[in-house]
Chain A
Amino acid sequence: MTTDAGSPEARSRRASERIARRLMAATLVALAAALVLLSAYALEHFERRLGPQVSHKAEAVGRVVASDIDHALDLGIPLNRLRGMDAYLENVMADAGEVTFVVVGDGEGRVLYAAGPDAAEGRRLVERLHAGDGRHGSAGRLGDFFHAAVPVDKGTEGGPGVHLGAPRSLVHDLLKDLSADVLTVFLVGLFAAYEILSAVLALKLGRPLSLIGRAMRRAAQSDFAHRLPEIGAGEVRRLQHAVNGVLDRVAGRAGSPGETLSQPSLAAMRAPLILFVFGEELSRAFLPLYVDSVYSPVPGLSREMVLGLPIAAFMAAIAVMTLFTGTWLSRAGPRRLFLLAVIPGVAGHVGTALATGIYDLVLWRVLAAVGYAMATMSAQAYILAVTERTGTRASGLAGFVGAVMVAAIAGTSIGAMLADRIGYRPTFVLAAVMVALGGVLFARLVSDAEGRHETERTRLTWRDAGRVLANRRFAGVVVFIAMPAKIILTGFLFFLVPLHLVTDLGASQSATGRIMMAYFVAMVVVAPAVGRLVDRSGRYHLAIAAGGLIAGIGPLVLPVHDTALTVLGAVIALGVGQALSTAPMQALAVHVTERADSDIPASLTSAVLRVMERVGSAVGPFLAGGLVAGLTLPQTAAGLGLLMVVATLVFLAVEGVANGPWPRRAEVPS
């Protein structure tokens, strides 16, 4: 049965989506308000508990000043005739960190000496302190400062003393530092809210309603030989039960109960897939640094190449897996294969967490890659199987890509924040937990019957691959666009960016995670809009060229201007560039092979393209690692950027020569 957008089933799906969206908005408003309140609550507690510690520090500074003054007084120098106090106090303040004023008072309301950036304010406050109750010498707050006082001249409270202050705004600064983290939490909360609410509503409301609708419409045409599965929640389930009740009664007259209606749902498999990918992405922002921590030399490889080795091995394993999963899928089916993927997935992450050296680490990463490949490919197969019947393949696959992106955004940023806090190894353990949770959820949500449809898988053979690659234009797309794109992605973003940000620029792991996350955010934000634009204008070549150049130019800036902000810029440029070029590139690849040999199915072309892309992914970190041997990290990044730019230009030249002016619209099979 095929459905169009106006069908009753689409309507009930949209109804549940509309509820999900509104509910998500409500949840986000509540979350934002709660986060603000939590921050205010944290601020109050920060100040209350940090204050005394700041005062202790101020006291330590005060004791030094008081003891030096006492020394001078012991030598018979009067307190008001100390020489060189300004220079002396400024010198002390230079080493005093948080403390921003030091004031020496004579105990009778006169300030004799003052120094530090807030000296004027300190002078005023201390004078007022005397004018007030004359109390003196207790730690606490004074105006906008944490305050401490230390008596001099063996004095007691109320006598001459040294006053010190540290701004209370330093607690606010702490919270300001945290605002980026809190924003990230909000962003992740946004995705979590969306995913959780849509999954619950789709499974408990949307899908059951659409089934009930189907049952009702069939009954309306006097077809009573079917029953509903009772899978909804509460009132929906009650309605299902009631519908089944009347159908039973009708059937009591008319005969057999008939089939149980079923409708597989993409929503069911979305959450498990996200969890699985999320687990893998947790280490995105620190994997090279983790490798560095277990580094041991590998003969024949430079240190940097070894650091890139685990990423390269991961990507290579996925490329190889592409060749096998087709067979496995047709043998085990998507559901079993996804559940089987949990075994290497969990083992890979736990092994990575416990890795002792580079060799076992590579092994564990390969295992994780095997799990990752099995899971994502069975998810894809499942989606294809489900959408084949509903004719919503394109939106189904878009949903798949969306899920992977959401997982990448959340995983990269949260993994980095966690690594900052609990360390690399525990974060890998958490990754294993996520993967296992994905498996459990999958087993619960996706029933065996669903997705168990004979999928026509294109099995990739060397001969097929050779046939596709023999097409020069296709080879051109692969060599000059697809592979460089993946090389710069894994070599620059996955490998160089975390290394450079943390080791050279001293960025925190969290900041690194946020910067890397920007790539995925740019992809998510830009890709759909650009996709529509490109589809409408049909300027595929232009999109590919612009994308390649934008992606390549970002890293080129780094050797000239090397700050965390420029790295962020380069990462965003990469995301925007690849958002521009990826889909048109795939379309063009299919287009050129079909034009040359209409016997080659699009699925075969896509499969070859994917394998070649993954080869590029595997080469990326290795190439970067090799280049780094003679260059700095920014220079290497620029090298990869240059590669991308040059490859794009060569592609343009070759395509232009082969085909004259750019076609306005590549005829792309949908």
Chain B
Amino acid sequence: MNATRHGLLLWLTPAITATLALALLLAAYLDGYKFERALLDLTQSRAGFILRTLERTAESNLRLGLPLESLDHIRGTLNREAAADPELLSISVYDTRGRAVLSTNRTHEGRRAPERWRDALPGGKDRVWRREVPHTLVLGMPLQDALGETAGTIVLRYDLAHIQAIAGTLNRTLLVGALVLAAVFTVPVAVAAYMLLRPVSRGANAMADELEAAASADDPATVPPARVPDGAPLANSYPGFRRAVLNALAPTGGAGPTSPHPRTGGAGAP
């Protein structure tokens, strides 16, 4: 497409694409965000369900009046649960001093809870608390003994890297999709723009053709008149202008210096 003859379209098309892309990218971004939240909610509700189930199991043992250490015999249950859920990193039971007495990850046993969420351990009365540390969701729930006192906390560590990866992929997919849609839907709008601009373009080009010829012709009066479509902008002003210019350039007044403009390709300043 000739940049000079259809320059308006070349200005408008990127503007249209930009508008579409802006709105679609924003929508894709919001979609992706919503998805990530939904995924996180789902993971949390799964982790919360498992946590509450295990808490019941552990507490029914504690209510026999046995110490926290006696939970060792539910280790099998914990291991089975941890093995059944691929994103469940570990299940641990912490005593009131923040030391792990039992964990499906044996290396945790006897160690203090990590600094990042140790302060959450005391918890409120039978309330699930949650912390997000990088790539990990930590959920905990206090365990009550037979006297209703907090005897410790059961803590689930959940891997978020996986769902973050899922969300990341989806985000990218949606953003690329949005860009593709913006590009595709630019086409019909650009066609519409072309149609809308056609009278303007044709009128302007016709006038420019004649004027350029007139500027360089030896006898401007011989230049064929431009066919300016009716209704094109300037269609009313042009005939008067043309007449006045041709009069001014009429050879009667003696030949002036002619500008050496070529007939076509009139781009660039004189």
Contact = CB atoms under 8 A, between A and B. Distances in A.
Given A185-B27, A245-B261, A249-B215, A64 B53 contact: yes
Classify chain B's interface size: 35 or more
Contact of A197 (B4, B19, B241): B19
Given A63-B81, A178-B31, A219-B244, A243 B211 contact: yes
Interface in B34-69: 34-35, 38-39, 42-43, 45-46, 49-50, 52-53
Given A95-B49, A234-B8, A238-B267, A56 B85 contact: yes
Contact of B26 (A185, A204, A243): A185
Interface string A1-39: 000000010011001000100110011001101110111
Nearest to B2: A234
Q: Is the interface of B mostly helix, strand, loop or mixed?
A: helix
Contacts of A192: 19, 22-23
B9 interface: yes
Contacts of A254: 248
B114 interface: no
Classify chain A's interface size: 35 or more
A98 B200 contact: no
B158 to A, nearest CB: 11
B147 to A, nearest CB: 26
Given A35-B23, A219-B241, A242-B266, A236 B259 contact: no
A255 to B, nearest CB: 11
Most buried by B among A174, A197, A222, A250: A250
Contact of A38 (B31, B192, B269): B31
A633 B247 CA distance: 79
Nearest to B192: A26
A193 interface: yes
Interface stretch (B94-102, B119-127, B137-145, B170-178): B170-178
B20 A234 contact: no
A97 B45 CA distance: 7
B148 interface: no
A379 B214 CA distance: 43
A31 B31 contact: no
A388 B81 CA distance: 78
A54 interface: yes
Interface in B1-25: 3-12, 15-16, 18-20, 22-24
A97 B270 contact: no
A59 B170 CA distance: 24
A186 B5 CA distance: 33
A96 B46 CA distance: 8
A493 to B, nearest CB: 24
B244 A98 contact: no
B207 interface: yes
A235 B205 contact: yes
Interface stretch (A151-159, A208-216, A646-654): A208-216
A64 B77 CA distance: 11
Contact of A12 (B3, B234, B253): B234
A241 to B, nearest CB: 6
B166 interface: yes
B11 A34 contact: no
Contacts of A243: 211, 241
A196 B27 contact: no
A246 B20 contact: no
Contact of A23 (B12, B45, B211, B234): B12
B258 A249 contact: yes
A526 interface: no
Contacts of B193: 23, 26
Interface string A187-216: 011001100110011001100010011011
A189 B19 contact: yes
B238 interface: yes
A141 B173 CA distance: 23
Nearest to A11: B233
Nearest to A42: B31
Contacts of B50: 60
B185 interface: yes
A495 interface: no
A46 interface: yes
A185 B258 contact: no
A598 interface: no
Interface string B79-121: 0010011010000000000000000000000000000000000
B39 A31 contact: no
A242 B261 CA distance: 10
Given A246-B211, A252-B256, 20 more contacts: A26-B192, A27-B189, A30-B20, A35-B27, A38-B31, A45-B173, A50-B39, A53-B166, A174-B35, A178-B31, A197-B12, A204-B11, A213-B237, A221-B244, A236-B8, A238-B204, A238-B267, A245-B261, A246-B249, A248-B215
13 contacts: A27-B16, A33-B185, A41-B177, A63-B81, A63-B84, A174-B38, A178-B31, A189-B22, A234-B7, A241-B208, A245-B270, A249-B249, A249-B258
**What 7 pairs between A and B have smallest CB-CB spacing?**
A234-B7, A189-B23, A220-B240, A216-B241, A242-B211, A245-B215, A26-B192
